Amino acid sequence: MKMQWVGIKDAPVFQGLNFNLPFSNEKSYLGITVFNDRIGVNKTTDIALSYAHRIKLNEVHSLSFGLGADIAIMQSNYSELTTIMENDPLFSADTRTYTAPNFNTGLYFFSKKYYVGFSIPKLLTNQIVYNTAYKMETTFNVANFHYHLQGGYKFRLAENYNLYTSTLVKYVAGSPIQVDLNTMLEYNEQIGLGLTYRTSTIVNGLLNFKITKSLKIGYSYGYNFNELRNFSNGSHEIILIFNQAKNKLNAPEETPRF
């Protein structure tokens, strides 16, 4: 769960749930993700199914290919807005609830110490438009693709200390490249303290704690150093991870991602 820009009315609120299950001797994985995103008067619920296949390149490295399909359920309460023009036809009524498809794909190269991944999270653009009446418009345009490139490395500092570093680069045509630089110090594989710097002048602090061998809880606080700092008390995020995997052949899950 994530609450952004606390102190601003109708600020973004996000809740999400993800479940993954290995099969076929842990060479393939099926996943389901459900999330609810509210930004002002706009609400989106997304239900996604994903499939990934892992190819073991050697005793150390593996490569995974992933595909996903999802359904977005979207609705906007435009009548709640205060407009400059009285009886503005664009915002005089709420939209009905629309559904629209989408797809995603990605590659993931990893070992126990490091990983590199590339993904396109949305292949289609879905938006509610107005042309004498509201309707859902779904388009395919390569220029609207969001490209995500990420990588991370685990350093062994001492017997009980690990240092995780990672970066996430986001790019879409017409917008500046956004980069996240992440680092987290972990003690005894139980307690982690981390920090992230985002080029949009946001700094996040992370604290996570392994409650049991399978259960971990994390908390993140984000602070804006741009103009939003005059109106918001920051952003809060709580993460709960349950892992019942038989082994740890996959990429280092402890690497912080924001």
Mean pLDDT (the chain) is 88
The yes-or-no verdict on residue 146 having pLDDT over 80 is yes
Residue 217 CB neighbours (<10 A): 14
Percent of the chain with pLDDT over 70: 95
Residue 106 CB neighbours (<10 A): 18
Q: Which of 222, 155, 217 is CA-nearest to residue 186?
A: 155
Instruction: Answer yes or no: is 255 within a domain.
Output: no
For residue 117, the cross-strand partners are 108, 150
CATH classification at residue 144: 2.40.160.40
pLDDT at residue 20, as a whole number? 87
The yes-or-no verdict on residue 218 having pLDDT over 50 is yes
**24 — alpha (psi -120 to 50), left (phi > 0) or beta?**
left
Instruction: Answer yes or no: is 12 within a domain.
Output: yes
Instruction: Answer yes or no: is 77 within a domain.
Output: yes
The yes-or-no verdict on residue 210 having pLDDT over 60 is yes
More confident residue, 160 or 229: 160
Instruction: Answer yes or no: is 256 within a domain.
Output: no
Tell me the one-letter amino acid at 193: L
Cα gap 226→255, rounded to integer Å: 27
Instruction: Answer yes or no: is 247 within a domain.
Output: no
Instruction: Answer yes or no: is 110 within a domain.
Output: yes
The yes-or-no verdict on residue 238 having pLDDT over 60 is yes
Cα gap 205→40, rounded to integer Å: 26
Cα gap 219→69, rounded to integer Å: 29
pLDDT at residue 246, as a whole number? 55
Report the domain count for the chain: 1
Cα gap 153→255, rounded to integer Å: 8
Domain that holds residue 198: 2-242
| pLDDT tens digits for range 44-86 | 999 999 999 999 999 889 999 999 999 999 999 988 888 888 7
Instruction: Answer yes or no: is 253 within a domain.
Output: no
Cα gap 9→38, rounded to integer Å: 12
Cα gap 3→12, rounded to integer Å: 6
Instruction: Answer yes or no: is 257 within a domain.
Output: no
Q: Dihedrals φ, ψ of 24, to 5°?
A: 55, 55
pLDDT at residue 99, as a whole number? 95
**pTM of the shown model:** 0.87
Cα gap 185→187, rounded to integer Å: 7
pLDDT at residue 245, as a whole number? 60
Mean of pLDDT values over 8-17: 89
The yes-or-no verdict on residue 133 having pLDDT over 90 is no
